[in-house]
Amino acid sequence: MASHHRFDDITVSDLVAQGSMKWTRNPGHLSAFVAEMDFGTAPVITEALHDAIDKAQLGYLPPGVKSDMAEATSDYLSSHYGWAIPAEQIYPTADVLSAFDLVLARFSTPGSAVILPTPAYMPFLTIGPARGHQVIQVPMIAGPSGRAEMDLEAIGRAFEAGAEVFILCNPHNPLGRVYSQEELEALAVVVETHGGLVFSDEIHAPLTLEGHRHIPYASLSEATANHTLTATSASKAFNIPGLKCAQLIASSAAHQESLREVAFMVSHGSATPGVMANTVAYRAGGPWLADVLGYLDTNRTLLGELLATHIPAMGYTPPEGTYIAWIDANGLPDIKGDRSWAQFFADEAQVGLTDGALCGEAGVGHLRLMLATPGHILEKIILAMAEALKAPSA
């Protein structure tokens, strides 16, 4: 019998009462569509926030709070990944997406194309075009072991067609891949050959799961340090995206110099409590996160078992990192009519999932499901989906 975990005690009513966007957007639905966890956050973070509020530390970002966060991030990157990056090269910023927006504006030619392996995190398909940059989607391909890999030849061709910025997402949303050193080195050769720039989104790095190792792309070599801007945050792993703080890391002297000129703009959107919370997460959140990672490890296997038992036609490879499951629904009998599978399950099962098509053309027929939820809720979700597939009205 599986052992009991305190996260097992969390109920749907608790989550609805807590009032997150995930659990209040569609009342009555079991929600698994947005990258939030159902486990609250680390008590060390809530304590630090209570303390800051009691002291009314709610003003603009004090320099000491800012440098403390940079130090904490630098220490975390060094102790977890062996990446020695000085604190002066780490900037607080509001979030990873605004960091991406700034990188595009500051370091690429207006109108130049952006390369995006797909399926991809949805906003990467829309932010570039909103700023006048075309997105070249490069579908991931099945590698020799069957897992999804980057199509380096197609990426090279996209650079040749004039693209300047390559979006690396590692660990990958939605595929859950944690790229190996060999894969990252092979990518680096292509980028370097074409004089490209990498925006490396490593927001899910602390969520690297058992059996895999996160390697910061910029830490690979002098070449990758020079052609990369990295963004990360404690926001996914500690479930605090509403606190508005991420880190933008300039690993080249040229980028650092350039960012220094706009440091005010880079950091202005970061919220003082968020900067404090990120500092505490990196310094003292380890035990809570280890517990979460253990739970996610169980859940990624549980989801495979639930699908194999109740909806065997769905394809699923457990993620190597993140708490995102990418599910292939193409093997299901086509009973959804004109709807996407996400719409079908929203209508017929009251289950909220992301339509894979929003992740790019390569995502059509797929679903994105968050597995950072108590096991009994994960089971309810899959059972509701299985029932909907059986229902005569379907």
Ligand X SMILES: Cc1ncc(COP(=O)(O)O)c(C=O)c1O
Binding site for ligand X (CB under 6 A): 35, 95-97, 121, 169, 173, 201, 203-204, 233, 235, 241, 246
- Residue 292 CB, shortest distance to ligand X, in Å, is 16
Nearer to ligand X, 103 or 389 (CB): 103
* Complex with ligand X: residue 7 or 121, whichever CB lies closer: 121
In the complex, the smallest distance separating the C-beta of residue 53 from ligand X, rounded to whole angstroms, is 22
Please, which residue, 169 or 188, has the CB nearer to ligand X?
169
Q: How far apart are CA 126 and CA 341, in angstroms?
A: 22
List helix spans (H) across 202-320: 222-226, 253-261, 263-268, 272-284, 286-310
Q: Tell me how far, at minimum, the Cβ of 246 lies from ligand X, in Å.
A: 5
Phi, psi of 117, rounded to the nearest 5 degrees: -65, 135
- In the bound complex, which residue of the shown chain has the CB atom lying closest to ligand X? 95
CB of 92 to ligand X, least distance (A): 12
Contact between 149 and 140 (Cβ < 8 Å): yes
Least separation in angstroms between CB 106 and ligand X: 17
Tokens linked to 302: 């549980």
Q: Considering the complex, state which of residue 276 and residue 306 has its C-beta at the smaller distance from ligand X.
A: 276
Minimum distance between the CB of residue 22 and ligand X, rounded to whole angstroms?
11
Cβ atoms of 373 and 20 within 8 Å: the answer is no
Largest CA distance in the chain: 64
Structure token pair of residue 281: 């997460």
Identity of the residue, 150 or 389, whose beta carbon is nearer to ligand X in the bound complex? 150
Closest distance of CB 8 from ligand X, Å: 25
Where in the chain does DSSP place strands (E)?
30-31, 90-93, 114-118, 135-139, 141-142, 148-149, 165-169, 197-201, 228-232, 246-250, 315-316, 324-328, 351-352, 354-355, 366-370
CB of 170 or CB of 340, closer to ligand X: 170
d(CA 61, CA 65): 7
CB-nearer residue toward ligand X: 37 or 378: 37
